[in-house]
């Protein structure tokens, strides 16, 4: 084998290796872009989750506040009816 043939086959092999390395580089670039897109979506999902948690906490506070107000109203209504009923009994008893 002559040195020209060795140089030619070496150049051919180096060219094939370079082509394969270029393809790998392109695939890695594409995967990097894909990962960047996934990262953006993950950030958006995390933001949405934080907003949903905040909205849920606010709803919980409003619901708890509403239940407290209903309890106060119910206790007030029961108390006033007992007092009114007590006065009615006193009036009935004292009339006779």
Residue count of the chain? 96
Predicted local distance difference test score (pLDDT) of residue 21: 94
Among all chains, which residue has been given the structure tokens 């990962």?
35
The string of DSSP codes covering 49-93 is: HHHHHHHHHHHHHHHHHHHHHHHHHHHHHHHHHHHHHHHHHHHHH
Cα–Cα distance, 8 to 14 (Å, whole number):
10
Asked if the model's pLDDT at residue 67 lies above 70, the reply is yes
Q: Which of 39, 19, 42 is nearest to 31 (CA)?
A: 39
Predicted local distance difference test score (pLDDT) of residue 70: 82
- Token duo for residue 96: 């006779």
Q: Which is more confident, 23 or 93? A: 23
Average predicted confidence (pLDDT) for the chain = 85
């Amino acid at each position: 084998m002559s040195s020209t043939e060795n140089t030619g086959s070496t150049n051919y092999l180096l060219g094939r290796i370079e082509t394969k390395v270029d393809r790998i580089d392109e695939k890695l670039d594409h995967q990097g872009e894909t990962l960047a897109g996934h990262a953006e979506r993950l950030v958006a999902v995390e933001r949405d989750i934080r907003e949903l948690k905040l909205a849920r906490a606010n709803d919980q506070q409003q619901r708890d506040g509403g239940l407290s107000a209903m309890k106060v109203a119910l206790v007030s209504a029961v108390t006033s009816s007992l007092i009114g009923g007590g006065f009615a009994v006193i009036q009935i008893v004292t009339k006779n």
